[in-house]
Amino acid sequence: MVKVGVPLKGFADFSRKVAADGAVLLKNDNEFLPFKKGEQIAVFGRCQFEYYRSGTGSGGSVNTEYKTDFINSLIERDFVTIDENLKQVYENWLEQNPFDNGGGGWAAEPWSQAEMPLTDEIETTGNKAIVVIGRTAGEDKDNLATAGSYYLTDDELSMIEFAKSRFDKVGIVLNVGNIINMANFDADMIIYAWHGGMEGGNAIVDVLVGDVNPSGKLPNTIAEHIDDYPSTINHGGTEQNIYQEDIYIGYRYFETFGKNKVMYPFGFGLSYTTFDIKNITGTQTETGIKVFCEVQNTGTYSGKEVVQVYAQLPQANLGKPAKTLVGFVKTGLLAPNETQNICIEVLNYTIASYDDSGITGYKSAYVLEDGEYIFHVGNSIRNTEIALKYFIAETRVIEQCQEAMAPTQSFTRMRPFGNCVAYENVPTKTVDLAQRIEENISSQIEITGDVGIKLVDVTAGKNTIEEFVAQLTIEDLQTIVRGEGMSHPQVTPGTASAFGGVTNHLRSLGIPLMCTADGPSGLRMESGLKSTQLPIGTLLASTWDAPLIEQLYEMEGQELKSNYVDVLLGPGLNIHRSPLNGRNFEYFSEDPLLTGKMSSAIVRGISAGGAIATLKHFACNSQETYRHDINSVVSERAIREIYLKGFEIAVKEGNAKSIMTAYNPINGIWTASNYDLNTTILRNEWKFDGLVMTDWWARMNDCVTGGEGTRENVASMVKSQNDVYMVVGNYGAENNENNDNLSRNLEEGKSGCGRCSPFLFCFLKITK
């Protein structure tokens, strides 16, 4: 009999490898790293003891059997000598100045902790110093562009200066969930260790002592000032954020308009060895391109390199970023002198741009515009060589879609004009959504009453899903779209929800009671049961190693299965639109391709392990403040090319079976009841055949007319083909504890109510 709360053997050890592979070394002067055997190291900063394993909120709440920190991992390694006196001074001070959790509650915990004032009397010894800087943020808690959050505090800056006054060589370890401002401090060595989960302390020591050669690359651009990020001016609103920067997020903006504002470019990261990416060539194929190169380790340490392919697309009717990531591969561990041949294939669809205005002559289509196409290959966005160039004489349609989710409100968006930023009007909605829904609505199924068909009969192919659904009563149909939670007594203790067979009658038809749990970085069980805590999403993305992440999440799938959890509420795929978003740690990158590839790996891994991943938060959940209200006003092009692209890749390549909508509205329609999002694009265009659920206690508004979002409007959720409302109280689904409007709307004869999406049943059918 499998016991719940018993972490999978070997899983934490594997997570340590991943955590080490995601560390990004930005600077390494004066032979700072790797440490040499017997060197004397002084360590500053309280986070050497109080290592941040994760950000805060649902994504960070994993109970582990143990945790690691930096200083104890370093001592246990017995490789260098640490400054015991300094350690003791810190320990004494920490006794008097314990960790401040803000009084309890996720959002109460401060982004950082007070640092010990360093006075002249403190004696230090050693030849090198490490300063550990820590930051957290999370659910309901955005970062702020203030000291202690995005910026270092005066005490932290003084600590770095103090270390420099005592030591010739100083390095900084950043134990942060998110990029921070780096313009006002410097050191010989700077490494982003991120939040590495329960084994993060060991992992960063593995890198520092040279057991692991760093191979992480930045998943974001680090610019000098927060105001350099084009989203900053439109981030943090209370009612709406206008995505005026459009598709020019992160490097797409900086490489096009502001190269000199960049401190550390996208895709950049150092190694202890050197690589030569050579014999770079490329060829056009029927479906896209292929690039070839050889990667040779030309240094003295074994190491891994990431080969990145960027497209330079023609500036034509549609504006384009100067460079767009279209492919990447990480090498294996190459010994000195060893060479690996690399081939990367890129589909035309990945290169194509979406025309939301019709300016190319092909409205609502992915197109390759006429002009010159240049493909660059290298190991960061800035360090590349040309692999291939060709011309397209006439604009080609790669995929014809239909207008969906277009804004209703007029605004202007960024586009290049020469090297300058120009603005153009954003195309607004032209379709009649009411008519679209009416035309697409599936035919009504006559209720037959119970004719003895069980769900297993559908799985076995004896009956159709429609015949099965026809047996359900109106009450069953209304009940099954309500999930119950949290900490449901009939599923694994302390998890997020139970759904599906929430009543005896539904279960009697063979509909299982399914269990969901947070995610994404390990299994959250508020009951105190233990599980394995993994590195955060941003660290995973920094590995650029999809096969490695797939292996990691196969183990996560096994751990979920052994805990009787069917569905993990992760990965989180939202784009890092602003460095200030508090939940960036759970998400991957400013780039949708990297996001999509990582998510696909996670989805496949979890599925191979025996459970199901949920892509969240679908979509444009770019800030935590006012997350239930804030309307994301975005062009259809940016929605499709940036904000939905990761989800699309995970659906098409990862074969994702579960998605959670976000809290916020997009262009006036809450995502939980957004028909174009959940049906036109997700189900009809991408052919998604799994389950959609809302985020917990989400709001919905009318999917046609808009208006205020409420928790009662479950009818609109159903109409948009979002399957399950998460959550009503435990045992509250049958009696409509939340007083939602399903039966009221049915009585009033409004269409779409009392109708249950067959997708929910398909989902149950494939999962059990």
Question: Is residue 529 within 8 Å of 6, Cβ to Cβ?
Answer: no
- Beta bridge partners, 666, equal 632, 669
Give me the least distance between CB of 206 and ligand BGC, in Å please.
30
Distance between terminal CA atoms of the chain? Answer: 19
Identify which of residues 518 and 559 has a Cβ nearer to ligand BGC in the complex. 518
Position 619, amino acid: A
Q: Which residues contact 90 (CB under 8 A, 6 or more apart)?
A: 46, 48, 49, 116
Give me the least distance between CB of 633 and ligand BGC, in Å please.
21
Give me the least distance between CB of 696 and ligand BGC, in Å please.
4
Task: Tell which residue, 195, 272, 198, 302, has the closest CA to residue 35.
Answer: 272
Position 327, amino acid: G
Identify which of residues 253 and 763 has a Cβ nearer to ligand BGC in the complex. 763
Give me the least distance between CB of 196 and ligand BGC, in Å please.
21
Question: Is residue 578 within 8 Å of 544, Cβ to Cβ?
Answer: no
Residue 147 CB: number of other CB atoms within 10 A?
16
Give me the least distance between CB of 436 and ligand BGC, in Å please.
29
Identify which of residues 329 and 567 has a Cβ nearer to ligand BGC in the complex. 567
**Is beta strand 189-192 parallel, antiparallel or unpaired with respect to 169-175?**
parallel
DSSP class of 56: B
Instruction: For residue 714, give both structure tokens.
Output: 């479950």
Residue 191 phi, psi (nearest 5): -135, 135
Distance, in Å, from the CA atom of 360 to the CA atom of 155, rounded to the nearest integer, reads 55
Q: Which residues contact 186 (CB under 8 A, 6 or more apart)?
A: none
CA atoms within 13 A on the CB side of 330: 24
Give me the least distance between CB of 520 and ligand BGC, in Å please.
8
- Beta bridge partners, 365, equal 355, 400
Q: Where are the alpha helices (DSSP H) in 52-167?
A: 70-77, 84-96, 154-166
Identify which of residues 289 and 656 has a Cβ nearer to ligand BGC in the complex. 656
Distance, in Å, from the CA atom of 327 to the CA atom of 214, rounded to the nearest integer, reads 21
Give me the least distance between CB of 517 and ligand BGC, in Å please.
8
Distance, in Å, from the CA atom of 257 to the CA atom of 589, rounded to the nearest integer, reads 20
Rounded to the nearest 5 degrees, what angle is found at the Cα of 28, between the Cα atoms of 26 and 30?
A: 160
Question: Is residue 70 within 8 Å of 48, Cβ to Cβ?
Answer: yes
Residue 539 CB: number of other CB atoms within 10 A?
31
Distance, in Å, from the CA atom of 511 to the CA atom of 638, rounded to the nearest integer, reads 39
> Residue with structure tokens 């004869």?
749
Identify which of residues 23 and 517 has a Cβ nearer to ligand BGC in the complex. 517
Give me the least distance between CB of 656 and ligand BGC, in Å please.
15
Give me the least distance between CB of 115 and ligand BGC, in Å please.
31
Give me the least distance between CB of 472 and ligand BGC, in Å please.
27
CA 411 from centroid of its chain's CA atoms: 28
Q: Which residues contact 483 (CB under 8 A, 6 or more apart)?
A: 497, 498, 499, 502, 516, 693, 724, 725, 726, 727, 728, 733
Question: Is residue 307 within 8 Å of 377, Cβ to Cβ?
Answer: yes
Show which residues are catalytic.
Answer: 695
CA 570 from centroid of its chain's CA atoms: 8
The verdict on whether omega for the bond into residue 619 sits within 30 degrees of 0, i.e. cis, is yes
Give me the least distance between CB of 699 and ligand BGC, in Å please.
13
Q: Which residues contact 254 (CB under 8 A, 6 or more apart)?
A: 221, 223, 228, 261, 262, 265, 266
Identify which of residues 246 and 518 has a Cβ nearer to ligand BGC in the complex. 518
Identify which of residues 313 and 656 has a Cβ nearer to ligand BGC in the complex. 656
DSSP class of 722: -
**Is beta strand 371-378 parallel, antiparallel or unpaired with respect to 128-134?**
unpaired
Give me the least distance between CB of 178 and ligand BGC, in Å please.
17
Binding site for ligand BGC (CB under 6 A): 58, 496, 518, 569, 616, 695-696
Task: Tell which residue, 148, 320, 147, 144, has the closest CA to residue 232.
Answer: 144
Helix (H, G, I), strand (E, B) or coil at 222: strand
Task: Tell which residue, 420, 467, 428, has the closest CA to residue 448.
Answer: 467
Give me the least distance between CB of 106 and ligand BGC, in Å please.
9
- Beta bridge partners, 681, equal none
Give the Å distances, CA to CA, from 715 to 106, 517, 644. Answer: 32, 25, 25
Identify which of residues 230 and 570 has a Cβ nearer to ligand BGC in the complex. 570
DSSP class of 47: G
Identify which of residues 58 and 136 has a Cβ nearer to ligand BGC in the complex. 58
Task: Tell which residue, 294, 330, 423, has the closest CA to residue 21.
Answer: 330
Distance, in Å, from the CA atom of 234 to the CA atom of 658, rounded to the nearest integer, reads 31
